[in-house]
């Protein structure tokens, strides 16, 4: 599923306005943006929570969804299961990978019937070890967001996958705020996560704009996931912190440029750099000088271009006599020195 490029995923989530055509148009737009994959979510209000309005099920954590119950939120946000085959078929038709986040075993079974190429574990499901084990047992790549997890919980999730023989794991640095403040992103954690857990690492980004995603790539992220919406006027629970398509495409373009710039660890000089070394410093005679005269700070300097001796020899030859008459502007050579 992954290759040497950064794998860029457009998350549709609830950004379909309960219109399957909007979902399909978004898939096509994500493909045309240059991204690698589309992700959806597979749940119903009943498979992810229960219809209850007591205090435990009221959203009141300072989110964009405060004031409603979990059940009502998920009723609004879910992607109808009867759409799934149509969306998977359409993604195949336009030539982009599609996969999903399942939230219970029945969702996994549905996605298996559609030959999903991968699974995503949402941040708030990282503690559902039985679900992670069931997903990992399918042998597909498992991508795990870590937005609410302790280091111990991340380790447990990774080990759960490995326990059933699945080592194709990617963990995503994530900040589970919507939108996520820049000061809470802490993307310097990304290289540490790779060292600590020994798996692929990426970013599930809920911050505004592309700055954090691009920075994450520079720090070694191999997967970037961003929420995408055709137009924020569609509305919905995720619209406020989702990228519109032109913003998403711009991010993809910038990441691809950055990949070229990152390149590899390299100290050897290219032919172009070697050619440009002619503009570097070297030792030149800066006055006419007669045979037998001594080299001084006045008649020899380190200047551009680079056709003379290396400046490291400046003090070694300073004060020595020259063997012949030399004209101003001549590059210094050992043959000039007694």
Residue pLDDT, tens place only, 292-311: 999 999 999 999 999 999 99
Q: Which two tokens stand for residue 332?
A: 């210094």
**Mean pLDDT across 61-73:** 78
Kindly state the tokens that stand for 119. Answer: 């699974």
Look at residue 66 and tell me whether its pLDDT is greater than 80: no
Residue 20: its pLDDT value, please? 97
Asked whether the predicted pLDDT for residue 167 surpasses 80, the reply is: yes
Average pLDDT, the chain: 95
The C-alpha R_g of the chain, in whole angstroms, comes to: 30
pLDDT at position 186 over 90: yes
The per-residue pLDDT for 1 is 61
Contacts of 134 (CB under 8 A, 6+ apart): 105, 108
pLDDT (tens digit per residue) in 243-302: 999 999 999 999 999 999 999 999 998 888 888 989 999 999 999 999 999 999 999 999
pLDDT digits (tens, 9 = 90+) for 15-47: 999 999 999 999 999 999 999 999 999 999 999
pLDDT at 67: 75
What pLDDT band is residue 73 in, cutting at 50, 70 and 90?
confident
For range 192-220, the mean pLDDT: 97
> For residue 71, what are the contacts with CB-CB under 8 A and spacing of at least 6?
45, 49, 50, 51, 52, 53, 57
Low-confidence winner among 104-118, 158-172, 235-249 (lowest mean pLDDT): 235-249
Which pLDDT score, from 0 to 100, does residue 12 have? 97
Structure tokens, 257? 């440029």
- Which among 294, 335, 8, 287 has a CA at the least distance from the CA of 143? 8
Query: Of the CATH numbers 3.20.20.70, 3.40.50.620, 1.20.58.340, 3.40.50.720, which one belongs to the domain with range 7-43+78-262?
Result: 3.20.20.70
CA separation for the pair 320, 203 (Å, rounded): 62
- Say whether 166 sits in a helix, a strand or coil: coil
| Percent of the chain residues topping a pLDDT of 70 | 98
Domain positions in the chain: 7-43+78-262, 271-336
Q: Report d(CA 338, CA 55) in Å as an integer.
A: 94
Please state which CATH class domain 271-336 belongs to: alpha beta
User: 20-59 as b/e, with b when 16 or more CB fall inside 10 Å?
Assistant: bebbbebbbbbbebebbbbbbbbbbbebbbeeeeeeebee
Average of per-residue pLDDT across 117-138: 97
């Amino acid at each position: 599923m992954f290759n040497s490029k950064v794998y860029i995923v457009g998350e549709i989530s609830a950004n379909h306005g309960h219109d399957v055509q909007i979902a399909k148009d978004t898939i096509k737009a994500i493909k045309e943006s240059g991204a690698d994959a589309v992700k959806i979510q597979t749940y119903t209000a009943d498979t992810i929570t229960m219809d209850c309005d007591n205090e435990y099920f009221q959203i009141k954590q300072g989110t964009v969804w405060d004031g409603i119950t979990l059940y009502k939120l998920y009723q609004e946000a879910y992607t109808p299961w009867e759409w799934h085959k149509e969306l998977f078929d359409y993604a195949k038709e336009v030539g982009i990978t599609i996969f999903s986040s399942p939230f219970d075993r029945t969702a996994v079974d549905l996605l298996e019937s559609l030959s999903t190429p991968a699974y995503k574990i949402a941040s708030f499901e990282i503690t559902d070890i039985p679900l992670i084990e069931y997903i990992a047992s399918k042998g597909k790549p498992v991508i795990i967001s870590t937005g609410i997890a302790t280091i111990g919980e991340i380790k447990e999730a990774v080990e759960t996958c490995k326990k059933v023989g699945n080592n194709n794991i990617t963990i995503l640095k994530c900040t589970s705020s919507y939108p996520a403040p820049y000061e809470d992103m802490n993307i310097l954690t990304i290289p540490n996560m790779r060292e600590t857990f020994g798996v692929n690492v990426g970013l599930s980004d809920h911050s505004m704009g592309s700055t954090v995603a691009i920075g994450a790539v520079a720090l070694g992220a191999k997967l970037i996931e961003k929420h995408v919406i055709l137009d924020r006027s569609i509305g919905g629970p995720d619209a406020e912190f989702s990228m519109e398509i032109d913003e998403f495409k711009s991010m993809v373009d910038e990441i691809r440029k950055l990949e070229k710039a990152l390149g590899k660890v390299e100290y050897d000089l290219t032919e172009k750099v070697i050619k440009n070394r002619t503009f570097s410093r070297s030792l030149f005679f800066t006055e006419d000088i007669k045979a037998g005269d001594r080299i001084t700070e006045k008649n020899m300097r380190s200047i551009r271009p680079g056709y003379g001796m290396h400046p490291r020899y400046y003090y070694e030859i300073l004060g020595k006599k020259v063997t012949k008459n030399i004209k101003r502007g001549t590059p210094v050579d050992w043959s000039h020195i007694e």
